[in-house]
Structure 1
Amino acid sequence: MASDLATKAKEAFIDDHFELAVDLYSQAIVIDPQNPELFSDRAQANIKLKNFTDAVADASKAMELDPSNPKAYLRKGTACFSLEEYQTAKTAFEAGSKLAPGYTRFTDWIKKCDKCIEIGELPTQSSDATPTNVVAPGSTTNDVEEVMNISSEVITTPAKPKYRHEFYQKPEEVVVTIFAKGIPANSVSVNYGEQILSVTIDVPGEDPYTFQPRLFGKIVPAKCRYDVLSTKVEIRLAKAESIHWTSLEFVNSSLVVRQSNVSTATQRPSYPSSKPTKDWDKLEAQVKREEKDEKLDGDAALNKFFRDIYKDADDDTRRAMRKSFVESSGTVLSTNWKEVGSKVVEGTPPDGMEMKKWEY
């Protein structure tokens, strides 16, 4: 029974056996996948294990199943705060505070978020801070727990290699493709944070697939979207800044990413290559300029003159030029359709030469 597994999971949580608690909650969820409390409590166990992206996914699922559960909002906010997703965390805390207006922990967390948004870094905890006691999830006393000793280093659990994924990018967005064939749209769940992507594919009768990376750069959740196609799930992430992502997932690196200054309307796709890159737009402009400035003599100049006339002419003029040239065997070129349109154009050979019809 799911309730028995949930009871054992809470006991494991109290004894600080967080990995066992996560495993037991997962077994209970398989039996009762519509129970928001199970997801909310597993989120708290994942927070203790510093599996913050998993915690965000669990809390989001709990919020989806029961939007009136303040614990789910607190746990999502806590996990997002640990991922330095301060704005997303603040949004979750503010929503939770409306559901539990008398609970001061929400107010405290919102103040922490405001401070971190303002200074752009995690608050430093004093060495004499009093540690918070561990309380079992779902307890009636002190129902919502505050997570202390938050680390800026994120530990993420690797996604199961059930489906292959890849990504490419444009100046304004990153497109993530998960190659999952024949997946029902209602089996796919995608959630976004400021720098989090959480994808769950849960097909009945199969093990759930989760892909929850912390992203290389920040995104705009409201502008992100996804499509479930016949052979893949395509996710479009709107970049918060037009920077080049050197990878899909976040890396602790001091490398400075380059700003993308190229207009999105004219930029062409770029692909990795060991050869020196060429500016094809520049080369094309150079060729056109050389053609325009080209100095020609004799027949070449005359041919270019006629080509320019034909290129800029209207339909009647073009018809006249084609008809007169063909019917006269290349000896007459007229631009007057009224003159040549109603008769056969006779050839006019140069002086000293005569027209000759070839027999085939």
Structure 2
Amino acid sequence: MATPPTATELEHQAREAFVDDDFASAAALYTQAIAAAGSSPSAAALYADRAQAYIKMGDFAAAAADAAIAAELDSSMARAHLRRAHACAKLEQYGAARAAAEAGAALAPADARFAHLIKEIDAKAPKPMETEVSPAAATAAPALPATAEMKPKYRHDFYNSAAEVVVTVFAKGVAAEHVAVEFGEQLLSVSVEVPGEAAYHLQPRLFGKIVPDKCRFAVLSTKIEVRLAKAEPGTAWPSLEFTGKPRLVAAATAAAAAAPPGGWPSYPSSKGRKDWDKIEAEVKKAEKEEKLDGDAAANKFFQDIFSNADEDMRRAMTKSFQESNGTVLSTNWEDVGSKKIDPSPPEGMDLRKWEY
């Protein structure tokens, strides 16, 4: 009986399929590699790479779910945040897309793709409705408040993983005793009642059913994080609230079900079989012997600064880099926190709009 291929062998075959633009075969092979890898540290990279294959296939819900899992397994993987941002933007989940892009930018401040992606997301995200008030109306007696037009006190967002839906309520500095969270079979209730302030309630009928006993939440310094255990693991929710649309079968479940009984055959690449272990060893040796310069040296320099910085320095670096279109990097939050940072290209160079 033939020995089953290892996770590394399956990953190599998936790469060959991806290079040959056979993204469906690449996704299926990555699924097998993920199953073979189990809880290995390499699983995060496999999820991130399968997300890229799904993006190429136009399956953005599966891509967003895979990228979220990759980021959860390895929060320091910038490309996982990048791919989640791309997929969520395509799904018009602009809040989740921007959060992912900001997380990636914090990890790789010298990577201009994040700043440009954030600008693209902000340009596409719907703007709040503005109502024009005539001078006569402005001087008239105040009308009763229209509760239907009131803006929610806190913003909320969500993302999928294989077994959970994670809901985030961006309530900063709220004490745990003022927060109440309840779970039902297809219901969620989040209440924030701070004395002297307007109460906040989030009570959606959920897109799918959950297992209340396995759900949990945490009140953190900047947010309330709620983890909903899916009653049907392996499905992706395209929205938090019920819409009547069918649930999407997540990537791992669909690809595993489609696999033939004997497993997928070794992918026949037109470029010939590559010895990826040898290539990887050569690359690592070259990287070790090479002296970094130019962008590579700058990127490592910025990453070292960021990894050793406190929260204010990181906020300053992220804000200055994004707002200046990658031309200014400051570590002084007191200097940049209260003002907009204009682009400042080096002397002798012109600022040009990014083209994708």
Bigger share in helix: 2
Q: Same fold (TM over 0.5)?
A: no
Q: TM-score, normalised by structure 2?
A: 0.40
**Structure exhibiting the larger radius of gyration computed from Cα positions:** 1
* TM-score under structure 1 length normalisation: 0.39
